[in-house]
Structure 1
Amino acid sequence: MRSQNGAQPFAHRCRVYYEDTDAGGIVYYVNYLKFMERARTERLRDLGFAQSALVGENLLFVVHSSEARYHAPARLDDELTVSAEIIELNRASLRFRQQVRRVADDALLCEGQFLVACVRADSLKPRAIPEALRAAFAGTGLALAGE
């Protein structure tokens, strides 16, 4: 799957474990949000930034708002791919578009968008995304907001 700008979107693979499911063996709805959070974290890591190191630089990313649509259930032992595409980059926030798909048949199970804010770790007040991070995000082929 390619994004509109030709850059290869990031995808994280994971498996559905017993702890992710309800009594019927179907993934509990809120766990899709956890899968997407992990993909965003791995996206940062893929760009060369570990969240543990960012905390040391007085920086956190926090979810400001989320939107999710559920299309089909994942089940125990399914292998999933979870995308994390950056679609908007602002001074102190970024927006991700994400999809959860089953590997076996590429079925779309869940999709959503997440507005993630950059804040100071010590005060939780908004702060500008550091230039190195902005450059890494922009290097994914994304046009910066306002440009």
Structure 2
Amino acid sequence: MATDSALPSSVISRLRVRYAETDQMGVVYHANYLVWMEIGRTDYCRACGYAYRAMEAAGLRLVVAEARVRYLSPARYDDDIHLTTRLLALRSRQVVFGYDIRRATDDTLLATGETTHLPTNHAGRIIRLPADIHAALSTGPTGQAA
């Protein structure tokens, strides 16, 4: 497991709220925050040098075992969103990501979240995280300012 002092830096994903992501009140529908966290996770892994597609091609799936979102302020259509993704824990059979979602124009914290993932094989059996993927995530994002 990575300790707090050894955790790699974060990755920032930039998004713009699309009209289709809002409800009748003009507020981003709550489930879209989970979709955004998936974007952040994918960007984080890619920045570590291991794209999700490559993981899946190698037979690895990172299944979501738990997801948590705390909604603090609404995002609205056309807001410029900055999603910060960081690794919270890395174990042989578990990966935990943390997220902060902010409106870029005023830096308002809109939501925070966390997802816990279990590495599985193509048959859905929990496995140890392959050493090369563990090493890539342990090293953290490259070429990205924290």
> How high is the TM-score relative to the length of structure 1?
0.87
Identity %: 30
Shift >2 Å, 4+ stretches: 3-8
Flag the 1:13–1:130 CA change in 2: closer, same or farther, 3 A: same
Corresponding position of 2:55: 54
C-alpha displacement at 1:60, in angstroms? 0.7
Is 1:84 aligned to residue 81 of structure 2?
A: no
Aligned length: 138
Q: Where do 5+ consecutive residues of structure 2 fail to align?
A: 142-146
Report the alpha carbon displacement of residue 8 of structure 1 after superposing the two structures with TM.
3.5
Counterpart Cα distance in 1 of 2:7 and 2:32? 30
> Which digits, 9 at most, give the CA deviation of each residue in 1:8-30, with x for residues without a partner?
42111111001100012110011
TM-superposed deviation, 1:140: 2.9
For 1:84, what is the secondary structure of its paired residue? strand
Using the alignment, how far apart are the partners of 1:66 and 1:6 within structure 2?
20
Instruction: Give the C-alpha shift of residue 133 in structure 1.
Output: 1.2
RMSD: 1.8
Query: For 1:37-48, what aligned pairs fall within 5 Å after superposition?
Result: 37-48=38-49
Aligned counterparts of 1:16 and 1:76: Cα–Cα separation in 2: 5
Contact kept in structure 1, 2:88 and 2:96, CA below 8 Å: yes
CA distance in 1, matches of 2:84, 2:109: 11
Secondary structure, counterpart of 1:38 in structure 2: helix
SS at match of 1:138: helix
C-alpha displacement of 1:46:
1.1
SS of the counterpart of 2:13? Answer: strand
Partner of 1:75: 76
Which residue number corresponds to residue 130 of structure 1?
130
Residues 62-113 of structure 1: per-residue CA shift (max 9 Å, x gap): 1100111000000000010111110111111111111110100111001011
Corresponding residue for 2:121? 120
Q: Which residue in 2 is equivalent to 1:144?
A: none
Alpha-carbon spacing, 1:27–1:45, altered in 2? closer, same or farther (3 Å): same
**Contact between 2:93 and 2:119, CA under 8 Å: does it hold in 1?**
yes
1: CA distance between counterparts of 2:15 and 2:105?
A: 13
Question: What TM-score, normalized to structure 2?
Answer: 0.88
Matched letter for residue 70 of structure 2? R
Aligned to 1:17: 18
Could you list the runs of 5+ residues in structure 1 that have no partner in the other structure?
Answer: 142-147
Secondary structure in 1 matching 2:111:
strand
Partner of 2:144: none
Q: Which has the higher contact order (CA 8 A, sep 6+)?
A: 2
Residue 55 of structure 1 deviates from its aligned partner by 1.5
